[in-house]
A = this chain, B = another copy of it.
Amino acid sequence: MIVDVSKKILIVGLGLLGGSYAKALKRFGFHMSAITLDQESIDYALREGMIDEGSTELNERIIGEADLVIFALYPHVFVEWIKKNQHLLKSGALITDVTGVKGSIVYEIQNMLRPDLEFIAAHPMAGREVSGVENSTEKMFFGANYIVTPTDKNTPEAIQTCMELGRLLGFSNVTTLSPKEHDEMIGFLSQLTHCIAITLMTCNDKENMEKFTGDSFRDLTRIARINDLMWSELFVANKTALLEQMNLFMNKFNELKEMLEREDIDEMRKMMRHSTKRRALFDKK
């Protein structure tokens, strides 16, 4: 691609992420189109100049003209779409996605895909607590990670194009991981943290706690406000890796509990010093 603005980009699913992609890419002058369920989303995006055209139908012309198709859908909806509608895509079109899990999606899509199409998977690690195209903003991508997860079915050109897309969107770090590495990493850094936040938020329903809340509890539960439809699907789609991370966490938590039971100050301090030292690695650079 290398910023060939004559290319046509289609976004399927114009929500928060799809909308932010449209906003970020339109700045370069690409022809942007969108297919989404909701006419209001299209109207909004047209009004804001984020897209050139859009449809709530499977508009064959729009779909058939796209050089790059970005799927910003729930995992199972994405898989279903390809199954039913891939015949509408132009020969040679490149497909990418925003799905937060990879192993359970990438191979399934690649295996069913027409041989004249290519799917290169990517995960933009950005989000907000709000949803919908009206909340779109390219600012989400600044400072964030964009991870491309190629398989041996992918061409070097597709991998390069997808990495370039990440940079055009404004992501600070664009890297590649295998689908398996990606899922382990996301299981730990993102899904486990959401499991912890919702557990903390629901494990003690005592009244009036909110009157005494400080920043620690607020920080640990910010993500406890969660899109239940999306996250339950993502958890199940990454079940094996997530269960592994949940077990690692539980075992360590249990060790700490046993230290406290036997009042083993030395071991607790050792764990806290390890924690303090390791946390420094994760500071924003």
**Which residues from chain A sit less than 8 Å from chain B, CB to CB?**
125-126, 144-145, 147, 173, 175, 184-185, 188-190, 192-206, 209-214, 216-229, 231-233, 235-236, 239, 242-243, 245-254, 256-257, 260-261, 263, 265, 268-269, 271-276, 278-282, 284
Contacts and interface: CB of A to CB of B under 8 A. Distances in A.
A272 B209 contact: no
A224 B263 CA distance: 20
**Within the oligomer, what is the number of copies of this chain?**
2
A281 to B, nearest CB: 5
A250 B245 CA distance: 15
Contact of A274 (B193, B202, B212, B248): B202
A221 to B, nearest CB: 6
Contact of A188 (B206, B242, B261): B206
A245 B219 CA distance: 18
Nearest to A248: B203
8 contacts: A189-B216, A193-B217, A196-B220, A203-B248, A203-B252, A226-B272, A232-B265, A250-B257
A261 to B, nearest CB: 7
The main secondary structure of chain A at its interface with chain B is helix
Contact of A202 (B214, B239, B250, B271): B271
Contacts of A192: 200
Contacts of A228: 268-269, 272-273, 276
B125 A253 contact: no
B216 A190 contact: yes
Contacts of A274: 201-202
Given A196-B196, A197-B275, A199-B253, A212 B263 contact: no
Contacts of A212: 125, 145, 147, 175, 185, 189
A49 B276 CA distance: 33
Contacts of A222: 216, 219
A209 to B, nearest CB: 6
Given A228-B276, A229-B269, A210 B282 contact: yes
A235 B220 CA distance: 19
Given A189-B213, A214-B144, A236-B263, A278 B201 contact: yes
Contacts of A206: 184, 188
